[in-house]
Chain A
Amino acid sequence: MINVDGLSKSYGDFKAVDDISFMIRDGEITGLLGPNGAGKTTTLRMLSCYLSPDSGSIKVDEKNSAENSLDIKRMIGYLPESAPLYGDMMVYDYLKYVAELRGVTGEERISEVASICRIRDVMHKNINELSKGYKQRVGLAHAMMHDPDILILDEPTSGLDPIEIVEIRNLIKELGKKKTVILSTHILSEVEATCDRVIIINRGRIVADDSTENLQSAVKGDKDIILRVSGTDFSGLKEAVYGIDGVKNVASIDGEEFTSAVLTVDHQVEIRPELFRAAVQNNWVIYEMKQEHLSLENVFRELTTGGEDERVK
């Protein structure tokens, strides 16, 4: 269990993290979400004992970071932002070095970690020669080497291609079944895809802290349905769907060959069957009907408006 109480950190005049407190229970995947420059990296750096806080305390399993930083470092596996590994070292040499410093003996663990992170085929390459995705995976292997109970990952998927992102996310989810994982991101869909719990940070303060589902349903906002049909024009479509209960607004969007519209619908109402029946009645052909869950995005936008400016870290 990680207990953070009243944590603050300033760089000169700039307050990067301003009096934040939270608790992380064992076995959860927690996402630290916020715009760039919100204080995510600073928070994670303090959790990993790289930076020491100006005030406040971090307790990991009743061990205080100010006094037992070495013990805490032993419990944590940490992957810094963009994996700044020793570029002139070979992957194998690097992992061996980390294993030695972590007190991990035996080749088995190195090859085991390499298999989990799927870097076996690059073990004898220099880290500099690796693609960003492979480098990130080596970083992950570095963090997992001593089989820590807590994994702290700073923007684990930034700069990766879509396939690599999915792979890393699956890996994180797999790890999260047994371990406590804390990751930071500024990508909302990532939190929805991987995390059990979200802490939203803006301007160094926590603005929301709840389970992903709770946050999603907390905002009884609207959802959007994109509809593309043929066999009618926009005004005909508009007339027909306005009658359906729950539809708040119908707006035209560009469609090359179809009549396309965005329907704004009340969050709790399911209108897709009604839309289908309307299409059948009026002899339309539906080419696309897509519902977009924007609730978490709304939360994020509401809570962090004005916080988008990138500041010097």
Chain B
Amino acid sequence: MKGLNESLIIMRKELKGYFNSPIAYIVITVFLAFTGFFFFKDFFYYNQAEMRGLFQTLPLMLSFVVPAVTMKLFAEERQTGSFEILMTLPVSAWDAVLGKFFAGTVFAAVMLSPTLIYLVTVFLVGSPDPGPVIGGYIGAVFLAAAYTSIGLLTSSFTRNQIVSFIISWAACFLLWILDKVIIFLPAKLGFLSYLGSDFHFQNIARGIIDSRDLIYFASVCAISLMFTVKTIEERR
């Protein structure tokens, strides 16, 4: 497909941009330091050779880290004016949005990949159930994609990266906390927990890959990306 080709060119350029700047390494280091703490806490304190501790904190971690990765994607282009260059090259708004979305998701996947070392550690000293581990990683990528799409949307609203970061962090955090605050709401509003990201992530991380959970993440991506494209076209 021709359109996808252009997205891939943009994705490559964005990824190069990430790894040519110190931001990528800072974000990855911070992410690994925190996840490492939560993993080894369980590993050494409770002598548990499993990944559950990691996957339990992952949605909260990602809600901080992913917005830091995505905040620049459109905001920086608007700030420097290079947005005008991008939009006068023969690419459609969808090409640009998808390219940046892929770049953010791939970056998040790269960021997650060093945690596979924990997995090796776990397999060396114990025999964990592979289902939750596989589910956890699949869920983590889907979750990261959903958060990336939200970050991309807020990045397209503004030319200020800090504003983009704070709004997308708030949105991701809200989705994370939704199924936890539901007990304060009347029982009738119980269905709201289906909108929570952690609710769906923990389902997958249990090792049960249910189409409902995947559809949830796919819908978050689709809706956010659609609004991102709309925002970009509106600003013309």
Q: How many residues of B contact A (CB 8 A)?
A: 20
With A50-B236, A84-B80: A100-B87 Cβ-Cβ less than 8 Å: no
Q: How far is the CB of A301 from chain B (nearest CB, A)?
A: 31
Q: How far is the CB of A292 from chain B (nearest CB, A)?
A: 38
Please indicate which of the listed interface residues B6, B16, B81, B84 has the most CB atoms of chain A within 10 Å of its own CB: B84
The closest CB in chain B to the CB of A48 belongs to: B88
Q: List 16 A-B contacts (CB under 8 A).
A: A50-B84, A50-B88, A50-B236, A70-B90, A73-B89, A80-B84, A80-B85, A80-B88, A84-B80, A84-B82, A86-B17, A86-B85, A88-B17, A88-B21, A93-B16, A101-B6
Query: How far, in angstroms, from A85 to B21 measured CA to CA in the complex?
Result: 17
Among A52, A73, A84, the residue within 8 A (CB) of B81 is A84
Seen from chain B, the residues whose Cβ lies within 8 Å of a Cβ on chain A are 6, 9-10, 13, 16-17, 20-21, 80-82, 84-85, 87-92, 236
Query: How far, in angstroms, from A74 to B10 measured CA to CA in the complex?
Result: 17
Q: How far is the CB of A44 from chain B (nearest CB, A)?
A: 10
Do residues B17 and A73 form an inter-chain contact, with CB atoms below 8 A? no
With A88-B20, A88-B21: A102-B89 Cβ-Cβ less than 8 Å: yes
19 A-B pairs besides A88-B21, A93-B16, A97-B13 with CB distance below 8 A are A49-B87, A50-B88, A51-B236, A70-B90, A78-B88, A82-B81, A84-B81, A84-B82, A84-B84, A85-B82, A85-B85, A86-B17, A86-B80, A86-B82, A88-B17, A88-B20, A98-B89, A101-B9, A101-B10
Q: How far is the CB of B166 from chain A (nearest CB, A)?
A: 24
Inside 8 A of B84's CB, which chain A residues have their CB?
A: 45, 50, 80, 84
Lowest 10 A-B CB distances belong to which pairs? Answer: A84-B81, A73-B90, A80-B84, A78-B88, A74-B90, A52-B236, A100-B9, A48-B88, A84-B82, A101-B89
With A88-B21, A97-B9, A101-B6: A70-B92 Cβ-Cβ less than 8 Å: yes
Query: How far, in angstroms, from A84 to B13 measured CA to CA in the complex?
Result: 17
Q: How far is the CB of A237 from chain B (nearest CB, A)?
A: 54
The closest CB in chain A to the CB of B99 belongs to: A101
Q: How far is the CB of B155 from chain A (nearest CB, A)?
A: 16
8 Å CB contacts to B: which residues of A278-310?
none
Inside 8 A of A93's CB, which chain B residues have their CB?
A: 16
Interface membership of A38, Cβ < 8 A: no
Q: How far is the CB of B11 from chain A (nearest CB, A)?
A: 11
Interface membership of A113, Cβ < 8 A: no
The closest CB in chain B to the CB of A89 belongs to: B17
The 0/1 profile, CB within 8 Å of B marked 1, for residues 38-64 of chain A is 000000010011111000000000000
Query: How far, in angstroms, from A89 to B88 measured CA to CA in the complex?
Result: 19
Q: How far is the CB of A136 from chain B (nearest CB, A)?
A: 14
Q: Is the interface of B mostly helix, strand, loop or mixed?
A: helix
With A50-B236, A93-B16: A101-B90 Cβ-Cβ less than 8 Å: yes
Interface membership of A4, Cβ < 8 A: no
Query: How far, in angstroms, from A159 to B80 measured CA to CA in the complex?
Result: 17
With A51-B236, A93-B16, A97-B13: A87-B80 Cβ-Cβ less than 8 Å: yes
Do residues B16 and A80 form an inter-chain contact, with CB atoms below 8 A? no
Query: How far, in angstroms, from A85 to B81 measured CA to CA in the complex?
Result: 8
Inside 8 A of B88's CB, which chain A residues have their CB?
A: 48-50, 73, 76, 78, 80
Interface membership of A142, Cβ < 8 A: yes
The closest CB in chain A to the CB of B234 belongs to: A52
Query: How far, in angstroms, from A45 to B87 measured CA to CA in the complex?
Result: 10
Do residues A84 and B85 form an inter-chain contact, with CB atoms below 8 A? yes
Inside 8 A of A78's CB, which chain B residues have their CB?
A: 88
Query: How far, in angstroms, from A48 to B90 measured CA to CA in the complex?
Result: 11
The closest CB in chain B to the CB of A78 belongs to: B88
8 Å CB contacts to B: which residues of A73-128?
73-74, 76, 78, 80, 82, 84-89, 93, 97-98, 100-103
Inside 8 A of B81's CB, which chain A residues have their CB?
A: 80, 82, 84
The closest CB in chain A to the CB of B87 belongs to: A50
Q: How far is the CB of A184 from chain B (nearest CB, A)?
A: 14
The closest CB in chain B to the CB of A87 belongs to: B80
The 0/1 profile, CB within 8 Å of B marked 1, for residues 150-177 of chain A is 0000000000000000000000000000
Inside 8 A of A70's CB, which chain B residues have their CB?
A: 90, 92
Query: How far, in angstroms, from A262 to B134 measured CA to CA in the complex?
Result: 88
Query: How far, in angstroms, from A142 to B89 measured CA to CA in the complex?
Result: 10
Inside 8 A of B92's CB, which chain A residues have their CB?
A: 70
The closest CB in chain B to the CB of A51 belongs to: B236
Inside 8 A of B89's CB, which chain A residues have their CB?
A: 73, 98, 101-102
